[in-house]
Structure formats: structure tokens, C-alpha cells
Chain A
């Protein structure tokens, strides 16, 4: 299916086998379909109304249960954090050190994903709880909340998968779509991806800088200066806490604590990167052009979100640890609904996809991340070696048909 056997890359060998009918590409292979699915203007609008209705029903149902849920998660996160910090005092005893790092890693993952990401999306603003307000919330991450709200909530969620608009496609570093023109720089694609994964929080922090635009002189100092100030304040405090104050508090355990805190940050980074990359880059997700999306209706916006996102299957704990971004499709349709509601509305979204012949891109974690890395390696090479064409699984009729 890649037009190139990647079996020489051992860890993606298995995942390049023909996959299930749930990915966008394979819809084409279904009996009776010999081209992309074509959705009429009216069908898209009707689908949009159904999704609006689903949203309204969910919003009407929000209440004490959702409040209890998020506070339960916060309590668990704070408990893990306190446990992790406390166990570092016993860092001389290897099992205790491992337990400390595990607890702290879990705490940071919960803080960033099920709490931070979701609260900063405004998912809990309806509670009017000052401590959980999207405008002021901060997370355990070097990226200041306000910069992330701009690069993620606004840029990424508004222009999802529109090439040259959605900077999450490759983050200005990677080639993640065959429509990004190849150049020799991209030979390093897997290396850049590996570094981004390891130091993800710093990559997220740098996201709003648009480094390549600064290098090319398209961004001026006065655009960049406030970002630097934000980093100094936010990242500075994070570094002070994890690499100076907490290690110092454990006295003779300074070095084990410092290494433990560093490890917990890396574990969180690898996990967050993996979950997030599974959201938009597995095989079968579709990208769009600025021209085709210029005059988008609400229904068309919805369909773009569905085609541009992919889910990960898993159990309840997996969903919580991924901040329910394992329900990336539902998240992109309704970014401001409390994420723990996504599993509940997913069957309805999936049924709508089936009804309209749309792909509902989902798969196990190892399958999805496998296809992501496959893409990272494949797109490192120029197209003439890989022979990859841009996949268009669904064509959206964006104009009303003439009467």
C-alpha cells in the first residue's frame, strides 16, 4: 500500500500489512466503491446538523458528574505527584527510585493530558471554577499556557489538516504529508522526529515561535520577544522546580532526584508525543488545501475534522492516560466538550460515519503508531523512491449543486 516495501524497517513491518476497513484508504476497496466517497453539499449540511444536535444533547447533560470526574482525576494526579516527590528521598534504594519515577511520570502525564490539555480547551469553563478556567490555567510543561492556547486551540483546531495553515503538520520541522515538497533536509526526518519525541515539551514550547519563519526573516523581533519572556517565566520555573529545588530538598539524594525528575519528564514527553502523533498522522487521514477550505460551512468544517483525525482503541485507563485524545475524532468535532464524555458519544459518531460512508479511522495503539513512524521514514525520501500519491478518501462537494 505504500508503493514501497518497508519491510527492511523491522518495527513497521507488521503494520504495513493491509489494514482493517476502518482506515480511509481502504474504504476505496469496499465492494461497490471504486473511487473516493463523494459527499453532496446537502449530505454534509445534514451531517453537520446531526453533529450539532449530538453536541447540544451532551452539553445539556453536563453537571455534577463531570465536576466530580475532573476533581477525582486531579486528586489522583496530586496524590501521584506527592508520592513521587516523597519517594525520591529513598532514591538510594533502586526499587523506590523506580516507583518514584513511575509515580511522577504518571502524575505529569495526567497533568498534561486529561487535565491541562482539556481544561485549557475550555472543557470545564462551564463549571465557573476559578482554578479550572481555560484562560488562566497552567500545566506542568515548559510551554506557557497562553502560547499553547494560541498555537493549539486556535491555529491547529481551526485549520486542522490544512496544509500551510495547520502548523501541527510537521511542526515546521517534519515532513508528515506527501504534499509537503521534499527537499534533502527531510532525509533527517526520523532523527528530527526522534528528538522531537524525546524533548516534546520543549518542542511544544518552541511551536509558537515558527522558527523557520524567524530564520527566513518573516518574523520580526517584536513578534518573538513576548514569546521569549513567556518562556523565561514558565520554563524557568519548571526547571527551577524539577532540577534545582526538589533535588536540593532531598539533600544527599540530589543527583538521583534530578535524574529521576528528568526521566519522568522524558517519559511524559514520549507518551504525549506518541498519543498526539496518533491523532493526525496514521495512514488514511486526509489533508486539505487552503483553496478548498476557504469558504467552509459548519458542516464542511465538521467533515474536515473527521477526515483529518484518527482514534486509538483501548481500555478505560488507556483513554484516561491519553487525556481521551485516543478519541481524537470526537475531540476535533467537539474540542470544548469534557473529554471523558468522548467514549460515550463515540458510538454515535461512528454510526454517523457509517451512515454517510465516511471512514472512522481507528486502530490499536501499536498499529496507529506503527503507521505514523512508517510515514516518518517514508516521507524522508523523495516521492520518486516511494511512489506515494496523496490519498483522497472522501471528496466533499463544497458548492450547492445548480438546481
Chain B
């Protein structure tokens, strides 16, 4: 499958900086990277590291924020449906999170639009909703993902979203409209009430201006207004897109919606034409739980969690991770925990952040854990 859009990039400073990059510069700043000097002057002036600066902030609903980011010259654009990872400093700690750009892909506009919804206990989302201001500089990783519009475009497209899952399908809709797509498009969005719908004015405008586009709002906590009420079922599907059998469907939303849509499509035998993007949900934290599976995904080894430290479990599984003191001092054993929850035996602290560095010798898994060893 090819990527639907051609990444565009004409960073303002690209040519200058890429030519300014001879090895001489690196020799002069050794052992530090050139960017470790440049960032002290201007965090957006980098040779290697990609960053983005928040240039606009708007609040569409009470618990979301829509950010417009201007990336540094290394940005290669994105395809509708992809996600980007941004790194934000909250209370001294840089946290990374993934968000899907909501903007039109494949245009010359080099900005990235993200809509972030405050999550209960969400460190980054709460921080951004409450405090993001123009001028904030974040770390940025290239856009990636498998959730994307196929090329050539399908005959008909059904987009289903819930809550802040709207962003990747919003991007798909905007991109299709921008491309002058002529097939049928239905955009079915789930929200608690009409006040929780992001992009409503724009969605209404798109629907009014494009005969081939239908936009339907489904409210789960509001009995009047909108087009549909309650949760997704076959009836909703038939109202929104009676032609769904000949369409490709793109779905992004909270787990409940994903499950509902999948089971309906399974029943209809249409699961082949359903593509979805899952939200990463926090692993439930069960203290003192020596169950589950430890996956050492770096070496494709799995083991039953026996409650010992990850260093010991790795060794018992025949692996030889680097280690030193085996008591949490030297950080030789640090590895990336890709998913799952671990407990630090020194402090009792639980850690369920994905892609976090942990010390294997003082971490025990709590349930399923995936370590890059």
C-alpha cells in the first residue's frame, strides 16, 4: 500500500541549515551535538532535532484545546490518519504522547493541527488544555502510522469517530474535500452532547458546500438535536450510510465505540473493509499482581511473569541484558518499557507510561509488560 499523500516540505531554513552541516561543525562541538549549542540560542534553530512551536491555541469545547504547530525544517509532512509524537515538559519532566494531526494532508501549509482532549489523570493532555500558549516549543517525531486512506481512493468512504478520535478522520475528510473527491462520504461522529463536538462549524460548512458529503452527529447523553442518539448499532449505520457495504470505513474513537462498530461489521461480514485506529488506553494497575506475560520484544522472547525483577526474569529466559550493580545505582540496566505497568521495588512507585525507560534490576512487572530487551 502506498502512502496517499506526497509529503511536502519547504522549510524556511532547510537549505541554509543543511548546507551549514559539514562535519567541521560537529568536530567543533564534540562531544556534544551541534543542537545542544543552537537550542540555547533558539530552541527552534536545530540541525538534527525536530521541534515544533505552538503558533495558535483555541478552545473549541470546554475540555479540549486545538493547537496549531509550526514545525522546524526537518518536518516531512503527514498522511491523513497518521499520528505524530510530541514531547512536552510538565513539571520538569519531558513526556511524549501521540496525537493525530487533524489538518488537510498534502497541502503547502506546513503547520500541524492537533486537538487534544483532557483525560482524567492525563498529565500531558491536562497541561496542554490548561496551559498551552503560543510560543511553547515541543519535541516532534515524524508522522507515522498504518491508519490512512488508500491510494487510489475508495469509491465510497464512511468515517466514524467518537470524542477526540475525531482528529484523524477529520484530517481524512478535509483531505478528501481538498482533493475534490467525488465519491460519497458520510461522517458519523459520536459525542456526549452537542457542546462536545469539535469542528462543528467547519463540518456543517463542509456538508453544506459538498453534495457528496453527509455529516451526522450522534449524541449519547442528549435526547434531542443532532441526527442520532444513543450508541452505535445497525440502525445508526443504515441511517448514516445505507451504502456502507460498498464503502471503506475508517474508525477512531474510545474503546466502547470501537467494540460496538467492530461487532456490527463482523455480523455483516464487512470486517475486511473496516480500518481503525485504537486509542492507547492506560493499563489497569493491580498492585502485587504476579500474573501476566513479560514480552522481551527486542529478542522475541516471552515468559510468564513470576514476580521477580525484570532483570532476573530476562536472565531466566536466557537473555543477557547489560547490568552492573543490580541494585538501582548505576543505570547500566536501563531499558525501554514499551507497554504495561511496572513497580519500582526501591520506591514502590508504579509506572504505566508507555515507552518509558526503567531500570530492569529494580523493576518488577505488574501484569503484562513489554520490554525492549
Residues of A with Cβ closer than 8 Å to B? 52, 56, 59, 62-68, 74-75, 78, 82, 121-122, 125-131, 133-135, 138-140, 145, 149-150, 153-154, 157-158, 234, 237-238, 240-241, 245-246, 298, 301, 335-336
Contacts and interface: CB of A to CB of B under 8 A. Distances in A.
Nearest to B37: A78
B144 interface: no
Given A78-B37, A139-B31, A154-B332, A128 B95 contact: yes
A131 B33 contact: yes
Q: Which of A133, A153, A298 has the most CB of B within 10 A?
A: A153
Given A64-B91, A78-B37, A125 B334 contact: yes
Interface residues of B, number: 34
A300 B94 CA distance: 35
A238 B30 contact: yes
Given A74-B40, A126-B93, A237-B31, A149 B334 contact: no
A157 B329 contact: yes
B347 A67 contact: no
B332 A336 contact: no
A134 B334 contact: yes
A86 to B, nearest CB: 12
A332 B137 CA distance: 36
A154 B357 contact: no
B28 interface: yes
Given A59-B347, A336-B331, A140 B89 contact: no
Contacts of B31: 138-140, 145, 234, 237-238
Q: Which of A74, A133, A139, A154 has the most CB of B within 10 A?
A: A154
B324 interface: yes
Contact of A127 (B30, B92, B347): B92
5 contacts: A131-B36, A139-B31, A140-B31, A335-B329, A336-B329
Contacts of B27: 237, 240-241, 245
A49 to B, nearest CB: 13
B94 A157 contact: no
Contact of A56 (B92, B94, B347): B347
A125 B324 contact: no
Contacts of B332: 149-150, 153-154
A157 B40 contact: no
Contacts of B268: none
A173 to B, nearest CB: 23
B16 interface: no
B28 A246 contact: yes
Contacts of A140: 31
B40 A129 contact: no
Contact of B94 (A129, A134, A246): A129
B331 A157 contact: no
Nearest to A65: B92
B93 to A, nearest CB: 6
B197 to A, nearest CB: 34
A150 B324 contact: yes
B201 interface: no
Given A64-B91, A149-B330, A154 B325 contact: yes
A288 B332 CA distance: 25
B327 interface: yes
A67 B24 CA distance: 30
Contacts of A52: 346
A127 B94 contact: yes
Contacts of A150: 324, 332
Contacts of A125: 331, 334, 357
Interface string B28-42: 101111011100100
A130 B46 CA distance: 14
A364 B175 CA distance: 70
B358 to A, nearest CB: 10
Q: Which of A75, A134, A238 has the most CB of B within 10 A?
A: A134
Interface in B326-351: 327-332, 334, 346-347
Interface in B174-190: none
A374 to B, nearest CB: 31
Contacts of A336: 328-329, 331
Contacts of A68: 92
B347 A135 contact: no
A133 B36 CA distance: 13
A51 to B, nearest CB: 12
Given A138-B32, A158-B325, A245 B24 contact: yes
Interface string B347-373: 100000000110000000000000000
A347 to B, nearest CB: 23
Given A75-B40, A78-B37, A153 B329 contact: yes
Given A64-B92, A78-B37, A149-B332, 12 more contacts: A78-B40, A128-B356, A139-B31, A145-B31, A149-B331, A150-B332, A153-B330, A154-B332, A157-B330, A158-B330, A245-B24, A335-B329
A127 B93 contact: yes
A130 B96 CA distance: 11
B92 A63 contact: yes
A138 B330 CA distance: 16
Contact of A157 (B28, B49, B89, B325): B325
A81 to B, nearest CB: 9
B351 to A, nearest CB: 11
Interface string B77-104: 0000000000101011111100000000
Name the 10 nearest CB pairs between A and B, nearest first.
A154-B324, A138-B31, A122-B331, A67-B92, A153-B330, A158-B325, A64-B92, A63-B92, A154-B330, A128-B94
Nearest to A116: B31
A62 B92 contact: yes
Nearest to A82: B37
Contacts of B331: 121-122, 125, 134-135, 149, 153, 336
